[in-house]
Structures are given as structure tokens and as C-alpha cells.
């Protein structure tokens, strides 16, 4: 029995290479009329995958028929390409985000390295200034550096009148009040941690220097302001 091709209506004999449409027409289709590649034809024949010819998958004017049209290898191929494209974009975005994060961390490490390098150079300069000939041991050098840091928190005031009170506590409170008053004139609202008179002999006609000790270096006043206070 001779059948006709569902696409070109040409004759199809038992020896004619063809594919069976599993769509609405259920007709045999010439291989040349299928519109498939050799790979797709081989896959369909070997796996017995459902396949519909062009006429069966053409869009219909009826909404119900378009919603029930069968999948073809071409439509599956397009769907796979779309999904792979979306997946590739997601992977690229993820990798880009991670690379940006790594770059930020590397920049932060680079900044930390620069800061540490500067601090190391500062320590070297301090050691060289304290021990230019290398004659002092490390403990002496470190003690000297610590002493310098402590002195940076100190301030010496001159010509600050001393209290005539006999009680040490009253005199210390008077010195603290006088110091705070002088600091406030410069717009400095920091209260010292401690004030100490330098020297043992108290002479009210010539006040002893007043040592002002701050809690930290950031609270200490620079030397130019010290000169204005005296």
C-alpha cells in the first residue's frame, strides 16, 4: 500500500525514508520534508520520541487548539537554549559579585599593609632617635618610648597662682579649677585627669610650675596652645 506524505503529498512506499507524525494527522512524512537535522532524526527514530509535523504544530486561530499543541524537537531545543542562557547569566552575575567581593577584601588588606608598614617605619625612626649608636638594650629603648608617650599626655603651665590653703586636697582642687578655667578660654572642654605642682618648696610669691596630666594623647593640647596658656 502506498501512502502520501503529510507535507508534500508525495508517495511514500515501505522503502521510503520517513517519520511517523504523532500529532493530529498521524501521517508519514518524508525525511526531507521533516525539517529536522540528521541528529534530531536519529534521536527521534532510536528513542521513539513523540514528534509532530509542521502542519500539526502550526498556530491555530483557536485559543483552545494552541494551548493543546504538542511539543516538537524544535520547541524543546529552543526552550533548552533559553534556559541555558538564563542559567549562564545567573552564573556570570554570581561570579562577578564574588570577584568584586574578593577585590574589595584585597584592597582592604592592601590598606592594612600600608598602615602597618608606616607604623613600623615610625617605630624604627623612634628607636633610631633614642638609640642612634645601638648601645642601649631593647628594654631600655622600649621604656624610653613608653616614657615619651606618657609625656605626650602631659602639659606644663607656668605662673598659675597657688592656693594659700593648708590642706593639700583644697590646694589640688584649686589648681584643677584654675586649669579648667584656662582651658575653657581656649575652647577646650576636656577636664584633666590630674594636676601636680612641680617642686617641693612652696613660695606664694613665685608659683611652682603646674603639671597637667590628661587621660590620653588626643585630649592633650598642642604646644602652640600651651604657649598661649602661660
For residue 16, what is the DSSP state? S
pLDDT in the model for residue 170? 93
CA pair distance 69, 182, nearest whole angstrom: 93
Domains parsed from the chain with CATH numbers: 3-58 (3.30.40.10), 152-229 (3.30.70)
Compute the mean pLDDT over every residue in the chain, rounded to the nearest whole number.
79
pLDDT higher than threshold 60 for residue 229: no
All three cell numbers of 212? 597637667
Which phi and psi angles does 192 have, rounded to 5°? -65, 155
Scored b (16 or more CB within 10 A) or e, 184-212 reads eeeeeeeebeebebeeeeeeeeebbebbb
pLDDT higher than threshold 80 for residue 128: no
Question: What's the pLDDT tens digit per position in 155-164?
Answer: 888 888 988 8
Amino acid at each position: 500500500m502506498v501512502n502520501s506524505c503529510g507535507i508534500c503529498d508525495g508517495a511514500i512506499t515501505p522503502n521510503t525514508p520517513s517519520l511517523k507524525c504523532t500529532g493530529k494527522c498521524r501521517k508519514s512524512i518524508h525525511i526531507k520534508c521533516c525539517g529536522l537535522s540528521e541528529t534530531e532524526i536519529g534521536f527521534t527514530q532510536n528513542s521513539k520520541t513523540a514528534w509532530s509535523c509542521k502542519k500539526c504544530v502550526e498556530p491555530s486561530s483557536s485559543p483552545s487548539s494552541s494551548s493543546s499543541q504538542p511539543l516538537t524537537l524544535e520547541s524543546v531545543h529552543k526552550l533548552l537554549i533559553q534556559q541555558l542562557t538564563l542559567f549562564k547569566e545567573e552564573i556570570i552575575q554570581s561570579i562577578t559579585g564574588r570577584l568584586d567581593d574578593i577585590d574589595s577584601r584585597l584592597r582592604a588588606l592592601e590598606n592594612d599593609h600600608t598602615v602597618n608598614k608606616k607604623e613600623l617605619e615610625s617605630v624604627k625612626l623612634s628607636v633610631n632617635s633614642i638609640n642612634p649608636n645601638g648601645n642601649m638594650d631593647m628594654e631600655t629603648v622600649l621604656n624610653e618610648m613608653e616614657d615619651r608617650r606618657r609625656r605626650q599626655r602631659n602639659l606644663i603651665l607656668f605662673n598659675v597662682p597657688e592656693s594659700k590653703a593648708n590642706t593639700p586636697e583644697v590646694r589640688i582642687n584649686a589648681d584643677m579649677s584654675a586649669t579648667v578655667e584656662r582651658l575653657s578660654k581656649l575652647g577646650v572642654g576636656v577636664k584633666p585627669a590630674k594636676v601636680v605642682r612641680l617642686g617641693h618648696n612652696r613660695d606664694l610669691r613665685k608659683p611652682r610650675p603646674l603639671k597637667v596630666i590628661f587621660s590620653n594623647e588626643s585630649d592633650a593640647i598642642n604646644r602652640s596652645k600651651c604657649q598661649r596658656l602661660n
